Amino acid sequence: MSDMNKNIKALLAFLDEKWAGFLGCSPSQLRDGKNHVVSRSRQASIRQSPWPLREGPIAVFTFGKGWVMSTPENLTGTARYLCLDKSFEELLDEGDRLSQEWFDRGADHSENRGDQGYVTMNKLAQGLGLRGWSHYIISYCDPDSFSAEPDEHVVEITPDLPRIWEQWLAWPGPMVGPVVCKHFPVCDAFGYVLDEKLVSAAQLEARLDEFAWEYGVDTLPEYRGKGYATRLLKTVTSFIICKGKIPWHYTDHYNRPSRKLPDHLGYFKYAEGLFSHQRKNKEE
């Protein structure tokens, strides 16, 4: 076995152990190709769980064949009755199709995204006050095999660069920006700059105690499709690795542009999951 294969095998074992602990199953259950309903582990705090698991009480995790469904303890019996004989695709019902249509229409948040299409999962979650579901594709970077050349157009966004900092403070996108920083203790920001214009911005969105760090990225509409976000995220990936963390990426299944980023960056697909989202309080 080559050193690279050994590295990937060790990384996969590490990731499996982490996710199994968060979900409340064993690592072998993740990959045995069977369907399992388990109760959410009480040993892993909500704070330490990866972001999608912090958002709601129900998650379904799959590598393509079989799945692990993590629910509150009082719902495990109902989950087994409703879901145990269904494939992951069957659990998605019409939700993915309706969400894709919503995204293709322009992702207007005044419209219903398609959450009502996850019929089986909504039946399971009755009474939990959920606001919806996300089908995420989860990818990771192997730190030992990643390499990237420095890019002169990429800068770290700090007040020491006043013209870039001013553009950052006024950044129009919802995925990155100073407002996001109040939710994360790790929030370093980077930008792709052309002729002193900030055309793409990326920012870490992580906590110090997490084993893997992720990020948000946004590019001005007129500069999309030119590879700027990919070049920018190569620098961000290197930064995360230098901090001793594993870079990771997740995106909604319907978001085709975002789904291409891991391949461009050299990440590998790890898993898919359907994650619940708790309804937010008005003050949040």
CA distances, 267 to each of 11, 138, 171, 234, 242 (Å)? 13, 10, 27, 11, 17
Q: Is the pLDDT of residue 254 over 80?
A: yes
Does the structural domain 144-243 have CATH classification 3.30.420.40? no
Whole-number pLDDT of residue 159: 94
* 119: amino acid identity, one letter: V
DSSP code at position 59: E
Of 253, 219, 280, 251, nearest to 102 by C-alpha is 253
pLDDT, average across residues 259-266: 94
Nearest 5°: the CA angle 236, 139, 223 is 50
pLDDT at 284 over 50: no
Element (H, E) at 216: strand 215-219
pTM of the complete model: 0.90
The Cα angle at residue 39 between residues 34 and 40, in degrees rounded to 5: 110
Sorted by where each begins, the domain ranges of the chain are 3-140, 144-243
Residues 6 or more apart whose Cβ sits within 8 Å of residue 104: 254
> For residue 166, what pLDDT band results from cuts at 50, 70 and 90?
very high
For the cut 80, the answer to whether the pLDDT of residue 24 exceeds it is yes
pLDDT higher than 80, residue 283? no
Q: Is the pLDDT of residue 244 over 80?
A: yes
In terms of pLDDT, which residue wins out, 181 or 263? 263
Per-residue pLDDT reduced to its tens digit, 184-236:
888 899 999 999 999 999 999 888 889 999 999 999 999 999 999 999 999 99
Tell me the per-residue pLDDT of 40-74, one tens digit each, with 9 for 90 and over: 765 554 556 777 888 889 999 999 999 999 999 99
Share of the chain above pLDDT 90, in %: 76
Whole-angstrom distance, CA of residue 74 vs CA of residue 160: 53
* CA geometry: angle 145, 147, 153, nearest 5 deg: 160
Partner residues linked to 212 by β-bridges: 246
Helices assigned H by DSSP within the chain: 3-23, 27-31, 51-54, 76-83, 88-92, 95-104, 119-124, 162-169, 178-181, 228-242, 256-265
Any residues with CB less than 8 A from the CB of 163 and at least 6 apart, and which?
196
The chain-wide mean pLDDT, for the chain, equals 91
Query: What is the DSSP track for 133-202?
Result: EEEEEEEE--TTT------TTEEE--TTSHHHHHHHHT---SSSSHHHHTT-SB--EEEEEETTEEEEEE
Per-residue pLDDT tens over the stretch 108-139: 888 889 999 999 999 999 989 999 999 999 99
Residue 152 has a pLDDT of 96
Q: Which amino acid is at 212?
A: A
For the segment 71-87, what is each residue's pLDDT rounded down to a tens digit? Answer: 999 999 999 999 999 99
Token pair for residue 96?
């993915």
